[in-house]
Structure 1
Amino acid sequence: MKKWFWILAIATVAFAIYYDISRGTLPVADSSPETAGETVEITETHFDHTVDVEIEAGQTLLSIVEQLHDEGMPMDMGQIKNDFQYLNDGQSPEQLHEGQMYTFPLYEG
């Protein structure tokens, strides 16, 4: 019985090694050149004025825009992101750094 156990164990380990080498088990990071230096094309802006805000811990683009406008979200989120990137030289709104100043759009109406 011990003999069959060892044969089965060795076969399982050999199959696992073969599968790992031939197909792999770890995800591969996509480093295609199309996404590496992705640029955003901004065609039209919709803001009337701007304001500079220093980022505090826990603040996001959405929370700051809601604080700046009494009625909540004045535009759809995609347009707000485009306007923010336009005002901040393509800076991603998902990567705001605490203590830095950013320019935010102000919408009227």
Structure 2
Amino acid sequence: MPLTDSKIRAAKPSTKSYKLTDSQGLYLLISASGSRLWYFRYRFSGKESRISLGSYPHVTLAEAREKRDTAHKKILSGINPSKQSNTNKKCIVETNTLKYIATSWHT
């Protein structure tokens, strides 16, 4: 049964972390400390993985579903969504080095 915003707001932290599942691999992990994190679980090349989609309420249910759908489209196109986000992070880190900034400024 799909999640609703009222179910999410009514969910209280427990002594252990637990999941509220939506559909197509999307779930909200509610930790014992009370944090609520969106995850998308998927299979790529026979291997199960998951990616974080953000924290609730900063990422709403509708936004989490959109991010899940975007990641699912990448999987259907043969792209591993977690590898692509790691590549994007690496590019950002490489462009924030002193060497890169100094070279860009000097030229």
TM-score with structure 2 length normalisation?
Answer: 0.20
Structure with greater strand share of residues: 2
TM-score with structure 1 length normalisation?
Answer: 0.20
Higher relative contact order (CA 8 A, sep 6+): 1
- Say which one has the larger Rg: 1
